[in-house]
Amino acid sequence: MENEFQHSVPQWWMSLSSGVIYLIIGVLVLLYPAPTYSAFSTLFIIGFGVLGAIGVIYALNNRKLLKHWEWTLMTGLIDLAITFLLIVNPKITQFVLPLYIGFILMFRSIIGIGFSTYLMHYKVRNWGVVLALSVLGVVFALLVIWDPPFGAFTLTNYTSFAFLTVGFGQIGVSYELRRHQREYGS
């Protein structure tokens, strides 16, 4: 089983790339709050499209190496489905878009929680940081889902924090995978 983990990290950079994309989206949402969420539709379409493609490519490239590669594939496909929904209906109301975004961020954060237990199982250092950031991602995602009536400003902040925690979590995963690859030569 250790051999499986050692061979599952050759594309650690994909986790890093998706983390950086999440961070960029989070910072842009925080720096440029808009009166309505529809102003962010283009940003979310591009972001979820790229993230979905990265997830699908990573899953398919590692399907013979990863024990549960289907989860990564499903995450990428969900991101692509969200992209499709946003393209088909670009004038999503202020209430519906936060639900889309909140649920996808919650799903990604729950996947992060599961992945942190995977890292813990293989005794990867700093797995707890990935767990903590993923739990924070769930909290902020729930706030995004729960708080739409309180206005775009609060919602924008929660959305930004959710993207930032998911991004830092993804970067943490990539750091640990890369460190493990260097230490064990996989």
* Residue 59: pLDDT over 80: yes
Do residues 112 and 137 lie in contact, with contact meaning Cβ atoms separated by under 8 Å?
yes
* Residue 16: pLDDT over 50: yes
* Residue 151: pLDDT over 50: no
Distance CA(180)–CA(171), nearest Å, equals 14
Confidence of residue 101 (pLDDT cuts 50, 70, 90): confident
Name the strand (E) or helix (H) holding 60. helix 41-61
Sign of torsion, CA 147 148 149 150? positive
Distance CA(51)–CA(108), nearest Å, equals 11
Q: Under 8 Å CB-to-CB from 180, ≥6 apart: which residues?
A: 5, 6, 9, 122, 124, 186
Residue with tokens 């990428």: 76
* Residue 109: pLDDT over 70: yes
* Residue 178: pLDDT over 60: yes
pTM score over 0.75: no
pLDDT of residue 1: 44
Closest Cα to residue 131, out of 97, 163, 168, 100? 168
Distance CA(18)–CA(168), nearest Å, equals 10
Do residues 5 and 122 lie in contact, with contact meaning Cβ atoms separated by under 8 Å?
yes
The rounded percent of the chain whose pLDDT value lies above 70 is 80
Q: Per the structure block, which two tokens stand in for 121?
A: 């199982």
pLDDT of residue 23: 92
